[in-house]
Amino acid sequence: MAQPSTDAALPALGSSRFIFFTDFDGTITQQDSNDFLIEEFGVGPAQRRLVFDDILFGRRTFRDGFKELLDGVDLPFPQCVAALLQSITLDEGFREFHAWTKTHGIPVVVLSGGMEPIIRALLAHLLGEEEASSLPIMSNNVVPRLGKSIEDVGGWEIAYRDDR
């Protein structure tokens, strides 16, 4: 399912001389939130590594492999977020970096293959609501599975930002 472009929601990007684009998992945070969910509540670390080997060697696409791994996480989405809030930590230099970019008027945009609701929740938890809301995020989303709610066991899935 394609998501609409959010270019109109990023007006600050048009007036800045510099823009800093960053990944989220393992860059802003110390750990990868997706790997954590997959390893702790899904198929486990060994299967995750096998699927990523398949991706690296071209035996399957990232899109298909990543969705397969996330589909193995059947914990209700709010419980996934709660577990991540307890386990994922901020990179030790990010708070200072973010303050520096704000002081110098340099927008920071988060580009991620992860899921925006998780990224937003973690940023709000780690930086505070105000700081988190100042960071545009370009990533995937989470949607309920057909006939379910994201609060249900097995009730959510990733919705990729683009069609391919």
Specify the CATH number for the domain of residue 18: 3.40.50.1000
- The answer to whether position 87 is within a domain reads yes
* Domain limits for position 121: 7-31+76-159
- The answer to whether position 26 is within a domain reads yes
Q: Looking at the 3D structure of the chain, how many domains does it have?
A: 1
- The answer to whether position 151 is within a domain reads yes
Q: What is the mean pLDDT of the chain?
A: 92
Residue 17, pLDDT score: 83
Supply the residues annotated as catalytic: 23, 25
- The answer to whether position 68 is within a domain reads no
pTM (predicted TM-score): 0.89
Contact 100, 137 (CB under 8 A): no
Question: What confidence tier does 2 reach under pLDDT thresholds 50, 70, 90?
Answer: very low
Radius of gyration (C-alpha) of the chain in whole angstroms:
16
Tokens representing 112?
């991620």
Residue 130, pLDDT score: 94
Percentage of the chain modeled with pLDDT above 90: 87
Beta strands 156-159; 137-144: pairing state: antiparallel
Question: What confidence tier does 163 reach under pLDDT thresholds 50, 70, 90?
Answer: confident
- The answer to whether position 42 is within a domain reads no
